[in-house]
Amino acid sequence: MTETASPPATEAVDAPPVRSRPRIDPARWRDFSLVPVIFVLGVIGFIVSPAFLTQDNLIGVIQQSTELGLLVLGEALILISGRMDLSLESTIGLAPVIALWLVMPAHGARFAGLELFPAWTAIPLCLAVGAAVGATNGFLILKLRVNGFIATLGMLTMLRGLQVGISEGRSIGNVPESFAYLGKAEWLGIPAAVWICLALFAVGGAALGYLRHGRALYAIGGNPEAARAAGVRVDRITWIVLAVGGVLAAFAGILYTGHYGAVSASQGNGWIFQVFAAAVIGGISLRGGRGTLFGALTGVLTLQLVINVMTLGGVPPLWTQFLNGMIIIIALVISRFTSGEKQD
């Protein structure tokens, strides 16, 4: 780490640019603005309850962050390229339901499937459903040019309804072993889901930072006309990003289903609010072109820690919803001032 932030731009005009000194972009610092917040939450958690700093509790918090984290990862990519997708919260429930419906035995179990495909295809099918949902959103937004907010809001409701229709409003248990494995396995004493989630964030972050198409997302979100003028295939890349968002939501559905052993009819219901809150707290701009995946990840952890500390502190369950909303607003205000930038 260097000692100073960058000099103001005016100095650079008068003096020739300094050659050797490594510079720290002030934008980099913004990504770390939630790290002290997370630290403070840890201290508060420790004071509130001795159970906070136990391995079980911390692993629990992180595991609960994985499913939300994957949704935030997908939403962050979409937001950076200047779009939004509200339907992710329905995809997390619908994709596993359709996959299981296609592979589950037609007779015997409480939930009668179609048994069209062998059980091992459940995961690829689930991911394909996610991609299809994202591609449909892309068709609506990019081909038909309808308003993205309302289109994906409509998709949210429609997909939720489709899930309820297919599953007849019930939870689906007895999921195939292969489908449940990733959600409940432990690798090196830590849930596999955590490793996978971290790996996906790392891959996503590297792609955004070091690949031509990753950088194109920032250009598209920051100034689509400039991106188009520079030869970026704006619509195609946006479409791919929407599909990737759907795939990530479907993958979150796989982990969630494995974790709890069943797909509930309300899986993911109401999550989209937390997804957006985590992304914005983590420094992703709703107007596109700004933010990093590291920031988004810290946003997720911040939210989950707050909820955990509240639970440990013995907040009456009837008040958690009120406090949840209040804390998101407080976290927004804090991150607004620690990052020093408007969250427009």
In the complex, the residues that contact another protein under the rule CB under 8 A are: 6-10, 12-17, 19, 23, 25, 27, 206, 209-212, 215-216, 218-219, 222-223, 225-227, 229-232, 289-290
Q: Decide: residue 118, CB within 10 A, 0-12 exposed, 13-18 middle, 19+ buried.
A: exposed
Q: How far is the CB of 240 from another protein (least distance, A)?
A: 15
Decide: 245 and 127 in contact? Cβ < 8 Å.
no
Which CB, 111 or 218, lies closer to another protein? 218
Say which amino acid occupies 136. T
> What is d(CA 91, CA 39) in angstroms, rounded to the nearest whole number?
33
> What is d(CA 246, CA 70) in angstroms, rounded to the nearest whole number?
10
> What is d(CA 5, CA 76) in angstroms, rounded to the nearest whole number?
27
Q: How far is the CB of 295 from another protein (least distance, A)?
A: 13
Which CB, 52 or 218, lies closer to another protein? 218
Please give the full DSSP string across 137-175, using - where no structure is assigned: HHIIIIIS---HHHHHHHHHHHHHHHHHHHHTTS-B-S-
Q: Token match 């689930």: residue?
A: 126
Which CB, 13 or 144, lies closer to another protein? 13
Q: How far is the CB of 208 from another protein (least distance, A)?
A: 11
Q: How far is the CB of 227 from another protein (least distance, A)?
A: 7
Which CB, 15 or 188, lies closer to another protein? 15
Helix/strand/coil for 191: strand
Q: How far is the CB of 306 from another protein (least distance, A)?
A: 29
Q: Token match 């779009």: residue?
A: 83
Tokens standing for 316?
Answer: 């009456």
Which CB, 219 or 250, lies closer to another protein? 219
Which CB, 3 or 14, lies closer to another protein? 14
> What is d(CA 163, CA 46) in angstroms, rounded to the nearest whole number?
41
Which CB, 80 or 123, lies closer to another protein? 80
Say which amino acid occupies 1. M
> What is d(CA 167, CA 208) in angstroms, rounded to the nearest whole number?
37
Q: How far is the CB of 105 from another protein (least distance, A)?
A: 46
